[in-house]
Amino acid sequence: MNGYLARVIEEVKGKHGDEPEFVQTVEEVFSSLEPVIEQHPEYEAADLLSRMVEPERTFSFRVTWMADDGTWHTNTGYRTQFNGAIGPYKGGLRFRKDVNLGIIKFLAFEQTFKNALTGLPIGSGKGGSDFDPTGKSDAEIMRFCQSFMTALHRFIGPDVDVPAGDMGVGTREISYLFGQYRRLRGAWENGVLTGKDFASGGSLVRPQATGYGAVYYLENVLKHEGESIEGKTIACAGFGNVTWGICQKAADLGAKVVTLSGPDGYIYDPDGVTTKEKIDYIVEMRASGRNQVKDYADKFGVAFYPGEKPWGVKVDVCMPSAMENDVHLEHARQIVGNGVKYYIEVANMPTTNEALSYLMSQSGVIVAPSKAVNAGGVATSALEMAQNSERLVWTEEEVDQRLRQIMNNIYTMSVEAAEKYGLGYNLVAGANIAGFQRVADAMMAQGIF
């Protein structure tokens, strides 16, 4: 590996060994950049990479809230404003028990290149809390969101930092957060958050956008192979916001999602999660806060596999869409053994680096990286910001059409970037290079700091 890249990776490992997910994503992105760094000695001269791995600002804060039984609880809130070179910091909030600074930094680092790939003016950020929404009442969620925003509101704004949803945070939470922001600011600045309910200025299609965008990206890959999406079977993970959108768009286009998963195991539905009743039910399951996929098996009489992951199921396409490091080497081997040709990452960093290298080394498997595939969510957030700025509302067709165009552009940019550096048809390297290049151009132009 190029000496400069190797040195920065070693520095990150030395300094942040206690943040394994952050180290993992830095290694993954940098593993693609060798030809770029070799051709641009000015990057090393300006120590660009060391600046890119250091967040511009990171802070944590206390979030104290009252449970329904009158007891008080305190959680930690986080926000990392990672890179503002190409626009206001932008990225989701995650509410989940295992959230810590390393998780937030890994997500924000990924977000840097993802947001650049959209071609829209959005920098990168990420935040959240170790608050566990499982089993919480609606009133508890509201009080938690109000307390979280009370601490955060001074540090965000439509031109400063624009949070949105991630795991555990959907339309309901964003709208509670927005209500509290408005109450504290005393002004209508609804561009401060995206993923709001429609009446508060949320964009049509934003709730489904990540899943829809992932399916649009998949269509590009299939087209490259001379295939169509119609009739394809898909294995998904989770049953959250992202998986719901994949199920819906896949069904619209004649494909079917046959697996869903949760912390309790996975379900296999041979007929697919295709009907309105089934799709509405998974939205209901997510909203229930029970966090178990077995409910689907009980309701629709399909098989449930407790404690297992869905990656051993024989399908045409795998789309891990729940969480990071869901697919390990042993699962990757199962996927290859089953002859799966399309491995389309959707969740942020769903694959361990070991499993990713293995999958990419297999000539029969096409691997697409999450930072490109799931970028439709944040891209549609940027479209929400645009609508909020111009105080207009776009139709569903208009948003969807723009989303589709953005996903097609991301795919094409990635293919071209890999080809430009002699890497062939490599969607992983192409996305890393294309995202990096845009941020690098802006950072170089703005001077060294």
Ligand X SMILES: NC(=O)C1=CN([C@@H]2O[C@H](COP(=O)(O)OP(=O)(O)OC[C@H]3O[C@@H](n4cnc5c(N)ncnc54)[C@H](O)[C@@H]3O)[C@@H](O)[C@H]2O)C=CC1
Which member of 126, 249, 309, 371 is catalytic? 126
C-beta contacts of 153-159 below 8 A and 24+ residues apart: 153/180, 153/181, 153/184, 153/185, 155/59, 155/79, 155/81, 156/79, 156/181, 156/192, 157/88, 157/189, 157/192, 158/88, 158/189, 158/190, 158/191, 158/192, 158/385, 158/388, 158/389, 159/88
- Among 135-143, 267-275, 333-341, 377-385, which window interacts with ligand AKG (CB under 6 A)? 377-385
Residue 7 tokens read as 């040195």
Q: In terms of Cα–Cα distance, which of 413, 408, 387 is closest to 205?
A: 387
Ligand-binding site membership of 381 (annotated): yes
Q: Is 100 exposed, middle or buried (0-12, 13-18, 19+ CB in 10 A)?
A: middle
- Residues in region 346-365 near ligand AKG by CB under 6 A: 348
Q: How far is the CB of 111 from ligand AKG (least distance, A)?
A: 6
The answer to the question of whether 232 is labelled as a binding residue is no
Choice from 9, 104, 302, 322 touching ligand X (CB under 6 A): 322
**Binding residues among 370-389 for ligand X as defined by CB under 6 A:** 374, 377
Report if residue 431 touches ligand AKG, rule: CB under 6 A.
Answer: no
Pick out residues in 82-101 that bind ligand AKG (CB under 6 A).
90-92
Binding to ligand X, residues 80-119 (CB under 6 A) = none
| 93 bridge partner residues | 127, 165
Local structure of 367: helix, strand or coil: strand
Our finding on whether 377 is near ligand AKG (CB under 6 A) is yes
Among ligand AKG, ligand X, none, what binds residue 90 when CB lies within 5 to 8 Å by partner kind? ligand AKG
The footprint of ligand X on residues 256-315 (CB under 6 A) is 261-263, 286, 291
What is the Cβ-side half-sphere exposure of residue 43, based on CA atoms within 13 angstroms?
24
Does 64 show up as a binding residue in the annotation?
no
Kindly tell me which of 80 and 241 has the beta carbon lying closer to ligand X. 241
Is 420 catalytic? The answer is no
Binding of ligand AKG by 194 (CB under 6 A):
yes
Can residue 191 be called a binding residue for ligand X (CB under 6 A)?
no
- Give whichever of 233 and 374 is closer to ligand AKG, judged by the CB atom: 374
> Rounded to the nearest whole angstrom, what is the least distance from the CB of residue 244 to ligand X in the complex?
7
- HEC per residue, 78-131: EEEEEECCCCCEEEEEEECCCCCHHHHHHHHHHHHHHHHHCCCCCCEEEEEECC
Instruction: Give the nearest distance from C-beta 376 to ligand AKG in angstroms.
Output: 9
Choose among 289, 316, 294, 319: nearest CA to 305. 294
Chain Cα centroid distance, residue 369: 11
List interacting residues with ligand X (CB under 6 A): 165-168, 210, 237-242, 261-263, 286, 291, 321-323, 347-348, 374, 377
Q: Which residues are annotated as a binding site?
A: 90, 111, 114, 165, 210, 241, 381
- Which of the residues are catalytic? 126
Interacting residues with ligand AKG (CB under 6 A): 90-92, 111, 114, 164, 166, 194, 348, 374, 377-378, 381
